Every structure is written in C-alpha cells, then in structure tokens.
Structure 1
Amino acid sequence: MNTTDPDLLSRASADARTDRRFRWLVTGAGLFVLATLLAVALSMLWGGREAFAKFGLAFLWTDQWDAVQQQFGALVPIYGTVVTALLAMLIAVPVSFGIAFFLTDIAPKWMRTPIGAAIELLAGIPSIIYGMWGLFVLVPLLGEHVFPWVDEHLGQLPWLGPLFQGPPLGLGMGTAGLVLAVMVIPFISSVMRDVFLTVPGPLKESAYALGATRWEVVWDVVLPYTRSAVIGGIFLGLGRALGETMAVTFVLGNAHALTFSLLEPGNSIAATIANEFTEADSPMYLSSLIALGFVLFLVTFIVLAISRLLLSRLNKREGN
C-alpha cells in the first residue's frame, strides 16, 4: 500500500484536525465548570463585601440578627444548617442501607421493581411538596403525639436531655431533620443499591459457603467492596441536605434564636435567604444575606472537599 497516497494523507490530516477540535471542545467544557464555580463564588463574595467589611470574620460566630439595628451574624443559620443536615444523615443512612440491602439480597424479584420505581418517584418529587407535607401532616402529628412524649421521657436524660426539651410546637430543627431525611433517602438508597449490585455473586456465595451469616457477608464482603461508592453516595445526600431550601423553610420555624433543643424553632442559611431576601430594605441587610449565601457555598465546598479527601485516601489504601 502506498503510504504517500494523497487521499490517505488528506484523511489523516482531517482526522488530526477533528481530534484537536474535539480536545478543545471537551477542554472548554471542563474549564467552563471551573469558570462558573469561580464566578459564582466571586459574585457572592462581592455582593457580601459590605457585610464582611463591617463585621469581619466575626460575622461567622455572631448570633445577633437585627435588621432594625443593622447588626447581622451568621451563627444561628450556620448552626441550624449543620444540625438539621447531620440529623437527616443520622436517620437517612441506616434506612437507606436497609432499603438497598433488602432490594439486592432479600426481596423477591417480583417486589424489587415496584419498590425501586417508588424510590425513583420519591427522588423526583419537588421539595416544596415535601415542605407542604411536613407542615400539614408531620407538624401536627409530631406536636400532638410525639414531641410531648419526647420532652417528658427523653428530656430528663442527664447529658442528652437538653436536646429533647422544649414546647411541643411541631415546628423545629427535629422536624426539619426528619423531612430532610425523607428527601435524601431516595438518593442515598439508589446509589447503594446500584453499587451493591456490582458485587460479584461468586464472592458472596463463597462467603456463605464458609459459614458466614447474612450480616457478616454484608459487613465483611459487600461494604468493603463498595466502600468508596457508598461514601460518595452519603456525601451526595449530605450536600443536598445542606442546600435544601423550601422544605426546610416550611417546617423549621424560622426563628433567629440559638437553641440546643431539637424541638424548638431555628433557622438555616437557605431558609433565611428565601424568607428575607425580598424584605431586605437596606444595602447592609441585602449584603448580609448575600454573605450568607457565600458562607453556604463555603460549607458545601468544604463538605465535598472532605468527601474527596476520604475517597482518595480509601483508594490509596486499596492500591488504586
């Protein structure tokens, strides 16, 4: 074959140009993500410059939020955001693990498809629907039947008692955490189910053949095999819980008060911005709300960075 054929040379040159264009295209897509992330962070930092200039870093640990006196601090919203998200994860992770394991190893085949479809439907429900359900169904139920019992019995515990003391309003950080847990369960359980299905069948069968129980197979075989993906799914749910707005706004109570009780109303960063952005009647008020958005950006970024660090360490430990 003649390697100097003009048609072959022309085709090779065209393929090289196409490959360069494709490389530029995908490189531009990657740089676009970084540029968008940087632009969002800088725009919020610029919008909150007046608040940061006046309050400095004290903005992060000041619990005062007084629009009349023009004194603002982010401690209460930060605290409410972190507490409700962590409470949601404490509830959602075990439940999601149970759902995923049930669908992959215990449920009969005829039951797996409808339950899996139900989980996907739950993931697609808008957050405002969860908020309305929480306000009109969950809040009265908890306020009348659950929180009074919690206050009477758990509120007397020596160390954890302050977490469960308070008026049975139904609104509060505990309710918000429960609603968030219901919202993130479909995401975490879907990820866990998909990664559990990747475990080779012979690997589990060999463990059963050696006399391992079902729990031992899960704990010693399935989880170590899928550990990185499971942690990634958990942090994905945590990121959604940190940034949730409408559902939390309905049930959190939206009170700028620092309280350690899960039964009392509190506030979160997203709920504060959603409730008060249209009421910001001064440049300092508006700047403080935008500064809150920048703080939420930082909190989410730190959480995701920690997840990436954990995953990289796990991969390094596993030799990947």
Structure 2
Amino acid sequence: MTYQGIEKGSDGNSVTIPNPSDSGSGEALAAPFPEPTPISTNPSRNAGVRLGDRLFGGAATGSGVLVIAIIAAIAIFLMWRAVPALRRNEENFFLYGGNWITTDTSAMHFGILDLLQVTVFVSVFALILAMPVALGIAIYLTNYAHKRVKGPLAYMVDLLAAVPSIIYGVWGLYILAPAIKPVAVWLNENLSWLFLFSTGNASVAGGGTIFTAGIVLAVMILPIITAVTREVFVQTPRGQIEAALALGATRWEVVRTTVLPFGMSGYISGAMLGLGRALGETIALLIILRGTQSAFGWSLFDGGFTFASKIASAASEFNDQYKAGAYIAAGLVLFILTFVVNSLARAAVSGKDRSAS
C-alpha cells in the first residue's frame, strides 16, 4: 500500500493519508483468525488420574490376575499329584472302563472311560429335561405372571438352589424313585427296542438308575438356568415390545419376535452354567446311582459312577499318595471337561452377540 502524503492535523501532529488508488474494490483486508486449540475429550489428558481411580483399577486388575493364578495353581497341583499314579497304571487311562484296582500300588489298573460316559450322559439328560421347563418359567414370570404372583413364584424357584445336595439324594431315592417306578417299568417293557430304554446293568424297580438321577439333577440345575434366563428376558428393550404390540402382535408373538431373539444368548449361557453344575454334582448322585461291575451301555436304566461320585466314594483310600493320585487324575479330567464346557458356552454366547450386532 502507498501513501499520498503527510499532512499536519489541527493539533500539530502529522497524519499519514493513504493513496485512494490503492483502495481497489473496497474490500477490507484483515488478518486471518488463529485456529482454535482442540479440546480433548479424554479426561485423563485434562486432569491427572485420581488416587481412587488408580486404586480401583489396580484392585480390578489384581482380582482378574488372582483368578487366573488360582485356576493355574489348581491345574498344576492336580497334574503334580496325578503323574506318579499314572506312571504306575498298567491300563490305558482314557480307554480302560473296567473295575479300578489300586490295592497294589506298583501295578495299578484304572481308567476314565465309563466315568466319562456316565458323567456326560446323566448331565446331558438332566439338561434336556431342565431347559424347556426353565424357559417356560422365565417366559411366564417376565411376560404373563401378575405382579402379585411373580415375586413369590420367582422366590420359590430360586429357593430350590438352597436345598442341600444330600436332601435331593435322599428325596430322589426314597420318594421320587418309587413314584416314577411305573413310568420306568412301562418304558423298559414297551420301548426296550430303543437303546435308551433297554434293560441296563441296574434294577429298574430299584430306582438307582440314570433315569432317576437325571430327573433329580434336572431339578437341581433348574434354578440356575431359570434365574439367568429371567434376568436376561427382563432386559428386553421396552421400545421393541411396545412397537410389536402397536403393530397388533399377540402376547406370544411379542415373546417370539422380541424377547426370545434378544435373550437367547442369556438362555444358552444359563444352560451351560447348569451343565457345569451337573457335571460336578457329587452327593446326590452318590446316593442315587448304584455302582455296578458291568460296563456302561448307554441306557437310562444303567447305574455306575460319575467322576465326582467315584472320587467321593473312595475317600478312605486317600491316605496313600498313589491311590489318591489315581482319583486325582480323574479329577483333573473333570476339571478340564468343565473348563472346556464353559469355554464353549462363552464362545457360543460371543458368536451369538456378534451375529446379532
């Protein structure tokens, strides 16, 4: 920019007069505004982490690490105690299903084939019985029950989890078994062509069979599945339910189109928790199931031992490290089996959540 000249004002001071030809089109010239400094949305960058947050974060992290350390310690202990007995075992530990002979610790005979089959069979049978009932109870409590009925009924179902295992065992053997004897006999006589109802290695009339034990076990795991499923169904978005009702859907259609799809992952998770509970049940099955000398035949009227009941029945032999090691080896397999079931349940629930999103 050029200046036309310098003149003196009325006060005697010099005033610089700009050249009019430099004004151009009359556009004002202004310096650009500086860019504002971005404000961080991360609180940790604007202020230091509080002591309480640090303590809570450390406690949470420590709790997670502690759980992992405990699980690893249990696995290491089981392996450490099982290996000496496995070295003295004369049979294939995974394929031998005969009687356990541990009196001669220099040449022992034991295996888990029958234990694994009985454990899985009775647990799956109980799960098949409990899952539909638990689903029906959860749907009724969350969508059909009156408020005056919902609370007491949910409390009664949850109260089943507080009954001791030994009570379930005595009830199953002396009350339930005689009551379902006609049903068991009819199934054995009329459907014996099917392997599930064929004559097994235990007395059908006596009641000490997988048929009786599975029903008792189903009652025991029912509260777990029901509670988890009910809590997930309650979280169904109210907007989805009201939208379905506004479109003219019936109560059952609302359950089928909104509640069940939303809560299916929780239902599966509850079922797997119940299965894990069934795999480790001890006292009730020890009381009900009759030990036999015959091999397991995949019949509901077979007897036998599960992992847990076999270990509990041989507690008197734990005074010897090798005899105890044989049963600890079975416990190690049960530990791995339960861990695998829970991992598969976690993977199934995670896959369901990803597909839904």
Shift of 1:220: 2.4
Higher relative contact order (CA 8 A, sep 6+): 1
Identity %: 38
Instruction: String of CA shifts for 1:132-174, please: whole Å, max 9, x gaps.
Output: 111211122233x221111112223xxxx12112241211111
* Aligned counterpart for 1:90 among listed residues 128, 132, 145: 128
Which one of the candidate residues 164, 176, 182 is aligned to 2:197? 164
Compare 53-62 and 90-99 and name the one that shifted more: 53-62
Residue in structure 2 matched with residue 230 of structure 1 by the alignment: 267
1:104-154 deviation line (CA, Å, top 9, x unaligned): 1222222112111101211111111111111211122233x2211111122
Alignment equivalent of 1:199, drawn from 231, 236, 243: 236
Per the TM alignment, residue 254 of structure 1 is displaced from its structure 2 partner at its CA by 2.9
Give the 3-state SS of the residue equivalent to 1:220 in structure 2. helix
SS in 2 for 1:60: coil
Please, which of 147, 150, 156 is the counterpart of residue 112 of structure 1? 150
Could you say what secondary structure the match of 1:218 adopts?
helix
Counterparts of 1:137 and 1:48, CA distance in 2: 39
Q: Deviations over 1:175-201 (max 9, x none)?
A: 111111000111111111111111133
Q: How many residues align?
A: 302
**Are positions 1:179 and 2:216 aligned together?**
yes
Tell me which structure has the larger Cα radius of gyration: 2
What CA distance in whole angstroms lies between the structure 2 residues aligned with 1:268 and 1:172? 12
Of residues 164-173 and 279-288 in structure 1, the stretch that sits farther from structure 2 once superposed is 279-288
Contact 2:116 2:307 in 1 (8 A): yes
2:176 maps to 1:142: no
Name the CA distance, whole Å, in 1 between partners of 2:240 and 2:156: 29
1:66 match: secondary structure: coil
CA contact (8 A) 1:96 1:185 kept: yes
The answer to whether the 8 A contact 2:97-2:112 is kept is yes
Which has the higher mean CA deviation after the structures are superposed, 218-227 or 231-240? 218-227
Distance 1:154 1:107 in 2: 38
Rounded to whole Å, the distance in 1 between the matches of 2:224 and 2:316 is: 32
Partner Cα distance (2:289, 2:197) in 1? 16
- Find the residue that maps to 1:61 and give its secondary structure: coil
Question: Are 1:58 and 2:92 counterparts?
Answer: yes
Letter of the 1:163 counterpart: L
Match of 2:59 in 1: 25
Residue 243 of structure 2 aligns to a residue in which SS?
helix
Whether the 8 Å CA contact 1:171–1:252 is kept in 2: the answer is yes
Query: How far is 1:283 from its partner?
Result: 4.2
Retained in 2: the 8 A contact 1:254–1:272?
A: no
1:208-287 pair list within 5 angstroms: 208-255=245-292, 257-280=295-318, 283-287=321-325
Q: Please, which of 54, 63, 79 is the counterpart of residue 117 of structure 2?
A: 79
Give the CA deviation at 1:225. Answer: 0.9
Aligned-partner SS, 1:255? coil
Does residue 129 in structure 1 map to residue 167 in structure 2?
yes
Higher mean displacement: 278-287 or 88-97: 278-287
Cα distance change on mapping 1:286 and 1:31 into 2, 3 Å: same
Q: Distance in 2 between matches of 1:221 and 1:20?
A: 41
- Counterpart for residue 5 of structure 1: none
CA–CA separation in structure 2 for the residues paired with 1:153 and 1:217: 41
| 1:51 positional shift | 3.3
> 2: distance between equivalents of 1:108 and 1:296?
43
Assess if the C-alpha contact under 8 Å between 1:141 and 1:170 holds in 2: no
Amino acid at match of 1:176: A
CA–CA distance in structure 1, aligned partners of residues 109 and 318 of structure 2? 13
Q: CA deviation at 1:54?
A: 4.1
Q: Does the CA-based 8 Å contact 1:164-1:262 persist in structure 2?
A: yes
Which of 55, 66, 70 is 1:36 aligned to?
70
CA distance in 2, matches of 1:200, 1:20: 34
Tell me, in whole angstroms, the C-alpha distance in 1 between the residues paired with 2:97 and 2:183: 30
CA distance in 1, matches of 2:160, 2:317: 33
Per-residue CA deviations over 1:190-249 (Å, capped at 9, x if unaligned) read 111111111133422332443444443323221111122221111111111111111111
Q: Check 1:21–1:190 CA distance in 2 against 1; reply closer, same or farther (3 A cut).
A: closer
Is the Cα contact below 8 Å between 2:228 and 2:270 reproduced in 1?
yes
Separation in structure 2 between the aligned mates of residue 57 and residue 201 of structure 1, nearest angstrom: 60
In structure 1, the gaps of 5 or more residues are 1-11
CA–CA distance in structure 2, aligned partners of residues 172 and 264 of structure 1? 5
Which range moves more in the overlay, 41-50 or 252-261? Answer: 252-261
